[in-house]
Amino acid sequence: MLSLAFTMLLAAASPGSSSESTVCGQVPPAEGSQLPSTVTAVRLAGDWISVINMADDATYVRFVKDRGPVLLDGPERWLELRDNLRGLQLCGVKSADAGGVQLWSYDPSWDSYGIMYLKPGATPADKIEFVFLGGTEEVPPGAARPAKLPLPVLIKAVEARAASRTAKDQFSGAILLAQKGHVLLQEAYGLADRENRKPNTLDTQFRFGSMGKMFTAVAVMQLVQSGKIDLEAPIGRYLADYPNQDVATKVSVANLLTHTGGTGDIFGPQFDAHKASLRSTKDYVDLYGARALDFAPGSRVSYSNYGFILLGRIVEAVSGLNYDAYIRRNIFEPAGMGSTGNQPESAVLSHRAVSYMGSGTRLKRADETLPLNGTAAGGGYSTVGDFNRFVNGLTSHRLLRSDTLQKLIDGGIRMKDGQFARFDFGGSMAGTGRYIGHGGGAPGMSGSLHHFLKRGVTVIVLANRDPGAAESIALFAAHRLPAD
């Protein structure tokens, strides 16, 4: 019964599509409970994706109001979610029982698979709840990963993808591919300023969101290298006046680098109320420093922008320089990164792109959402060329000794459940291998850097559009790189 429901779902979600068998494989029927509520959830998910992909805005909003799924907030946020999910294909049921339904999905924009989590209603008549859609390195049973391409062929394919997405107004930014310091491709697309028809160039400075965490991690490791910071030490050793002594004595520097400190995030009502006064790491500590831990340090991973701001504050305390001065003197200048910085939005920078959020008729400037300035957690600006210089500065060991860089790549902490949490400085991509790098995104900005260690290939994409714009190019390239 459930497999039949999903056949109906696919027919509704992507009529006439010939790509499903290629990307979706052969997903077997779900095992376990096939309760009426789970069948209803699967069917409604198919109808919802069909409306996302084909209906006009008014029809979509009416569908959500009348049938569901249950979504946060109101119609404006529903439409933003629709923009993010447009084009999504549902591939099959991963699991389904009375507690929830997991559906395989494929997003051609991100060139990636995901798992959609739904919560069925108490009865078949109740609306289902959309919990979230998360990316995964897994692929559905029988699905094949993209074919690997020789570098010259890959470059042509990336150029074609960028040109196609630009023509559809889905990408605006810059791309750089390099191997072992040799630039293979660098090109800019779209507009830096739509009102004045100013094109993006290779000199355009794009906001990069959380990609700035890489600079903070390197700064910390430079001070570890010089014996001024001990990764295992509690942060109170360096921040003696930290307001909450429970945090100061229980959270280590390594906890912050792995997002296992329980220090929480910065965004929410407090941030919104005090945004105009948050200009320095001290300002953030003054606002958030007294609050309690979210969980015992080392017990789990929870992404913490505030944790990286604390790392920036430690860099200041140990070095005697403010954060921006430290990274400029010890990272940007040695690497030759003359177009990278954290200057406030009020500063006039002739090459800084305007950020645009939304799409289609809802596309608008993202000025009101931008932070006052970049921080140790990210939010600054750079060029694709400068990020390539950063990679070259790392791999040539101008920024870190080889043993220290390796410690940053391999290091982390063993959590209480036995799992190993790595420092936030890269990862591993199935079929392509280990990399150093980071992504970043917020309304009107997206960016991605991957430097694959064995092949020495670097993929950098920056965009002045919402998250997904840069990743649509970066992941397409990374997934097709020749295997290590």
CB of 155 within 8 A of CB of 143?
no
21: enclosing H helix or E strand: helix 20-24
The pLDDT of residue 34: 59
The pLDDT of residue 227: 98
C-alpha distance from residue 54 to each of 87, 88, 89, 403, 462 (Å): 9, 11, 13, 53, 29
Domain limits of the chain? Answer: 2-136, 207-480
The pLDDT of residue 12: 37
Alpha-carbon distance of 94 to 116, in angstroms, equals 9
| Torsion of Cα atoms, 259 then 389 then 353 then 470, to 10° | -60
The beta strands (E) that lie in 372-477 are given as 381-382, 412-414, 420-422, 426-429, 433-442, 445-452, 457-463
The pLDDT of residue 297: 97
DSSP secondary-structure letter at 260?
A: -
Report pLDDT digits (tens) over 160-204.
Answer: 999 999 999 999 999 999 999 899 999 999 999 999 999 999 999
CATH number for region 207-480: 3.40.710.10
Exposure letters 270-297 (e unless 16+ CB within 10 A, then b): ebeeeeeebebbeebbebbbeeebeeeb
The pLDDT of residue 23: 81
The pLDDT of residue 35: 67
Point out the residues of the chain with pLDDT beneath 70.
1-22, 27-36, 124, 484
pTM here is: 0.89
Enumerate the β-bridge partners of residue 343.
none
The pLDDT of residue 304: 96
Sign, CA dihedral 262-268-271-274, equals negative
Identify which of 260, 442, 263, 259 has the alpha carbon closest to the alpha carbon of residue 355.
442
Report pLDDT digits (tens) over 336-371.
Answer: 999 999 999 989 999 999 999 988 888 999 998 888
The pLDDT of residue 28: 59
19: enclosing H helix or E strand: none
CB of 154 within 8 A of CB of 481?
yes
CB of 441 within 8 A of CB of 462?
no
The pLDDT of residue 144: 85
